[in-house]
Amino acid sequence: MTKTIIPFGPQHPVLPEPIHLKLTLEDEVITEAIPAFGFVHRGLEKLVEIRDFHQMIYVVERICGICSMLHAMCYCQGIEEMMGIEVPPRARFLRVIWSELHRMHSHLLWLGLFADSFGFESLFMQFWKIREKILDIDEATTGNRIIVSVNVIGGVRKDLGTEQTSMILSALKDVEKELQWLETTIMSDYTVQKRTVGKGILTGKQAYELGLVGPTLRASGVAQDARMLGYAAFGDINFTPVVETDGDCYARCKVRFREVFQSIDLIRQAIGKLPNGEIAVKVKGRPNGEVVTRVEQPRGEVFYYIKANGTKNLERLRVRTPTFANVPALLTMLPGAWLSDVPVIVLSIDPCISCTER
Amino acid sequence: MQGEVMCISPDNLLGETARMKVERYRFVTLSCVEISETQVEILYHFDREFQLKHLRLTISKDSSVPSISPVYFAAFLVENEIQDLFGIRFHGLVIDYDRTLYLEEDVKTMPFCKYVAVQKTPESNEEKAP
């Protein structure tokens, strides 16, 4: 049979970020997929040479808008570990609250885009309508909708008063109710199932051996979530990772949908246990040494390697983002798939190209 | 640094990597650090049930390193990234972009190497001349 090569991207309808896939097809079945990057590489890691270790918080927050809070939290955790700084308990709980709000709006954004990828426009709009409520909470508590910029080395820069925590709990109640209303559609609708069930299957063994992370890994039955490490205040609240076992696009969708409810629960727990006290400690000195640190972003585990030499500039900052770890999955999932399923399968790993290229 | 660190040489890199795979370690990533004008350090990070293990490889910038992508397929992406940014060559890559993962074909410099001076060609000097 004649082989056809189709260039998919870098610009295409389902993903507003540039990734190019060279798809080799026999008839309409993919036999090989080779990704290409380099359209938005910014070399942010190299900025450690001219920005000091405090300024680098603003840089890592801009690796990706959707995960900005978690990038900053991971970076601050690394520097705090290196400098032996103990973050006040209240700050640790506040980090949990804002990080879970970030996970919620990221997953809701993805759920909308995912619905859009198979042409379910009204579902797309419903998810994005609900997402606005989370962004409103971010704006009311931090002043910003996306890049909330609350992390500093030694704690957080913003606090939550009683009125604000009540407002959050009230808004989350509405969000929970609206999501429950959409549950039947996303979980049982004929269109959703027809386009996602049995597509892009990865077994647990494949997912683990490929080094995948986040919902992509957990949808294949592997219960791995960096929050199990207990960073911030996750060690003080009840947490069990959401796991599905089918390993297809539908399972990845279910994991993310269930994780939104889990985030609501985690925020309620964190607010319920929010201790009184300081929100940050003063930082003295400069970092020296080598550290690795990781947190669970919405797309999966982010891994930071930081090396410092006692000066104000770090020697090296290396960021392994979740999409960078999940791209190899596409090379396994796409061969054997129909061309029409490519947008759904690609989107099922929740790709973030600005994270990948940094 | 959290986790066990083990220094290795290029000769036993593949052996140690294969051992990690047998011991059910998950590949996390590589970190490349320029440590002098002539040398770089590559850290191979692995994880098993949240226990990290790192292999530390120190090599000269002009040497070629065996790729671990035949053992851990996922490593091909970060090895290509290091080829682009630091100019370190990996041999045996399952997919070799030949320094075009991020860079254009005509780029010969190493963007993340601070010790390397940009070599200007006579043509580029001529272009800037008034």
**pLDDT at res. B125:** 52
pLDDT score of B34 more than 50? yes
Selecting from A305, A327, A328 the residue whose C-beta is nearest the C-beta of B43 gives A305
Average pLDDT of chain B is: 85
Which residues, listed in sequence order, are joined to residue B32 by a DSSP beta bridge? Answer: B42
Sign of the CA dihedral with A227 first, then A229, A232, and A238 last: positive
pLDDT at residue B129 greater than cutoff 70: no
Q: Is the pLDDT of residue A263 over 80?
A: yes
* Strands annotated E in B4-130: 4-8, 26-34, 39-48, 51-60, 64-66, 89-91
**Residues of B with CB below 8 A from A38's CB?**
100-103
Band (pLDDT 50/70/90 cuts) for residue A319 is very high
SS3 state at B89: strand
CA distances from A323 to A273, A355, B28, B93, B119 (A): 33, 7, 12, 20, 34
Higher pLDDT, A48 or A275: A275
CATH numbers and ranges of domains, chain A: 3-357 (1.10.645.10)
Mean pLDDT to the nearest integer, A102-119: 89
Percent of chain A with pLDDT over 90: 57
A259 touches chain B (CB under 8 A): no
**Mean pLDDT over residues B27-45, rounded?**
91
- Token representation of residue A84: 């032996």
For residue B1, the chain A residues in CB contact (below 8 A) are 289-292
Identify from A231, A290, A311, A314 which residue to disrupt to test chain B contact, counting B C-beta atoms within 10 A and taking the largest count: A290
Tokens of A172: 């989350």
Gap between the Cα atoms of A200 and A342, Å rounded: 9
**Cβ-Cβ contacts under 8 Å for A305 (sequence gap 6 or more):** A290, A291, A292, A316, A317, A318, A320, B31, B43, B45
* A38·B102 Cβ contact <8 A: yes
Q: Measured between alpha carbons, how far is A218 from A214 in angstroms, rounded to an integer?
A: 6
ipTM: 0.88
Rounded CA gap, A67 and A331, in Å?
25
| Cis before A343? omega within 30 | no
Residue pLDDT, tens place only, A94-106: 999 999 999 999 9
Q: What percent of chain A has pLDDT over 70?
A: 99
Could you say which of A210, A290, A293 has the minimum Cβ distance to residue B74?
A210
Q: Measured between CB atoms, which of A208, A292, A305 is closest to B26?
A: A208
For domain B4-128, give its CATH number from 3.40.30.10, 3.30.460.80, 3.40.50.300, 3.30.420.40: 3.30.460.80
Q: What are the phi and psi torsion angles at B17 (to 5°)?
A: -65, -40
Q: Is the pLDDT of residue B130 over 50?
A: no
The answer for A 151-180 residues in CB contact with B (under 8 A) is none
**Per-residue pLDDT at B29 exceeds 80:** yes
Shortest Cα distance, chain A CAs vs residue B109, angstroms: 14
Range scoring the smallest mean pLDDT among A21-30, A68-77, A170-179, B22-31: A21-30
Residue B57 contacts A, CB cutoff 8 Å: no
Q: Which member of B3, B28, B76 has the closest CB to residue A320?
A: B28
Mean pLDDT within A157-162: 91
Amino acid B116: pLDDT = 61
Considering only residues B17 and A116, tell me which one the structure prediction assigns the higher pLDDT: B17
pLDDT tens readout for residues B82-101: 998 888 889 999 988 888 88
Mean pLDDT of A246-250: 91
Query: Can you give the pLDDT at residue A318?
Result: 93
pLDDT range class, residue B20, cuts 50, 70, 90: very high
Q: Is the pLDDT of residue B127 over 80?
A: no
Chain B contact present for A138, CB below 8 A: no
What amino acid occupies position A349? I
- Please say if the pLDDT value at position B117 is more than 70: no
Mean pLDDT of A21-43: 86
Q: Do A43 and B112 touch (CB under 8 A)?
A: yes
- Among A266, A69, A263, A271, residue whose Cα is nearest residue A165: A271
The pair of structure tokens assigned to B28 is 């996390």
Give me the amino acid identity at B78.
Answer: V
Nearest residue of A to residue B49, measured between CA atoms: A224
Quickly tell me which residue has 């290795």 as its tokens.
Answer: B8
Tokens linked to A356? 């990948």
Mean pLDDT of B33-50: 91
Q: Distance between CA atoms of A240 and A227, rounded to whole angstroms?
A: 9
Q: Assess whether pLDDT exceeds 70 at residue A142.
A: yes
In this predicted model, what pLDDT tens digit does every residue of A184-229 receive, in sequence order? 888 888 888 888 888 889 999 999 999 999 999 999 999 999 999 9
Contact A259, A46 (CB under 8 A): no
Under 8 Å CB pairs connecting chains A and B tally to 74
Q: Does A45 touch chain B (CB under 8 A)?
A: yes
**CA distance between the termini of chain A:** 40
pLDDT of res. A18: 81
